[in-house]
Amino acid sequence: MIYGSSVRNLVMQRQFLDRKAYRSEYNELFRLMSPVRTPYWCRPGSPPSLAHRAGFDEYSYVFDMRSRREIIKGRFQGGGIAYIYADELPLFASVYSRDRRKPSYDEFEILELLEREGPMTIRSIKEVTGLLSKQISPVLHRLQQKFLVFEDQVDDEWDRAWYLFETEFPDIILDESEKEETLKILISRFAYLNVFIDTKMLKSHYQLPEEEFQAAVTKLASESTLKRVTIGDEEGFVLSEDIPLLEKETFPPGGVFVLDRNDFLCKSNESHLSEKFNNEKHDFHRTPVKPTMMQFILVDGDFKGYTAGYFRIRPNILEDIVLDLEESEAINRKEEILEAVRLVNDPDESPIKRYCGEKL
């Protein structure tokens, strides 16, 4: 028998939500969670984050890693911005690069310009070509997805230089990895961190077609790397080596974490969370627009609620804290939950208006 509590306990351990990670542990966690997104709502140039996991000043540490090009910016999951280790470019190019050998006419023009002029910012491309920024940016983003150009995000400046990929990474061969083998590597990493997985979860994080994962998962199961199991009424897969750990009942540590929507754990469970916390089920007390789910609330290793409000360029608006807890537990843990929310939302700039519908 596989215990759900043991799964949650192992997830908390492996994602360093039970204790803070040292730098070496953080480095490995960053690799396993890659591509690592920036926070869901942030200003351009913000570095990626593994919130709550680091036992040191994460912002400065990651900022320096980026400045040294140990980690680099790209467009991976559906064209979204995320970061990977530079030495893993071949790995991720094998699953995310698209039609590298078939640039369109406008893409070819930008490539030719960079080859002739060298690194250029969007502003300098605009001056040379007469094109508008809104015409240039989509072309660069497509080329970025094809691993043909590189955006040098070494700081948080808005006007960044763009390079030909091959001039910055001449020793990297992007076509040497087979896609199926790469998917098997990514699935094994994902299963290690999330313990109990299915193809919907894989699709949510990596933003690749579910059918591609189905074939790779079947292959890993046939090789005995993965084993199909049932927990309650849910079917999924675990690493075969984890079975002995999960057949012994253990429990996750108590505590509350408020996680960004782009957090690895949230993205892994995005499909489940969107079904569990459906905005239409909740009454938001005559607010003019239904507030969005801003952050998810993890209680004792299980998702039990979310903050509801509005993202703004200025301070965000927190309308309510919505919880899926028994009323008595919601009352008993009110201060603990409020403190966790305030830890990631400045209480002066974004005061919490309600708790479970009750005005504060």
CATH for 164? 1.10.10.10
Cα(302)–Cα(267) distance, integer angstroms: 14
Q: Which of the listed residues 168, 189, 224 is the one where a domain comes to its end?
A: 168
Phi, psi for residue 49 in degrees, rounded to 5: -150, 140
Parent domain of 114:
98-168
Structural contact between residues 221 and 199, judged by C-beta atoms closer than 8 angstroms: no
Classify residue 303: in a domain, yes or no.
yes
Final residue of a structural domain among 135, 168, 201: 168
**Angle separating helix axes 122-129 and 105-117, nearest 10 degrees:** 100
- The pLDDT of residue 215 is 92
Tell me how far apart the alpha carbons of residues 201 and 48 are, in angstroms, rounded to a whole number.
21
Question: CB of 173 within 8 A of CB of 85?
Answer: no
Residue 29, domain member (yes or no): no
- 316's enclosing H/E stretch is none
Please tell me the predicted confidence (pLDDT) of residue 246. Answer: 96
Quickly tell me which residue has 């094994």 as its tokens.
188
In a domain, 347, yes or no: yes
Neighbour count for residue 67 (Cβ, 10 Å)? 13
pLDDT of residue 22: 97
* pTM recorded for the entire structure: 0.92
SS3 state of residue 118 = coil
Note whether residue 136 is domain-resident.
Answer: yes
308 assigned to some structural domain: yes
Q: Is residue 351 included in any domain, yes or no?
A: yes
As given in the structure block, the two tokens for residue 263 are 């957090």
Which of 139, 168, 197 represents a domain boundary (last residue)?
A: 168
Distance of alpha carbon 218 from alpha carbon 261, whole angstroms:
29
- pLDDT tens string 106-138: 888 999 999 898 888 889 888 888 888 888 899
| 333 within domain boundaries | yes
Q: Is residue 210 situated within a structural domain?
A: no
Q: How high is the pLDDT of residue 103?
A: 81
Task: Give the chain's residues under pLDDT 70.
Answer: 155-158, 175-177, 279-289
CA dihedral 247, 249, 250, 252 (to 10 degrees): 90
Write down the mean pLDDT value for the chain.
Answer: 90
* Count of domains forming the chain: 2
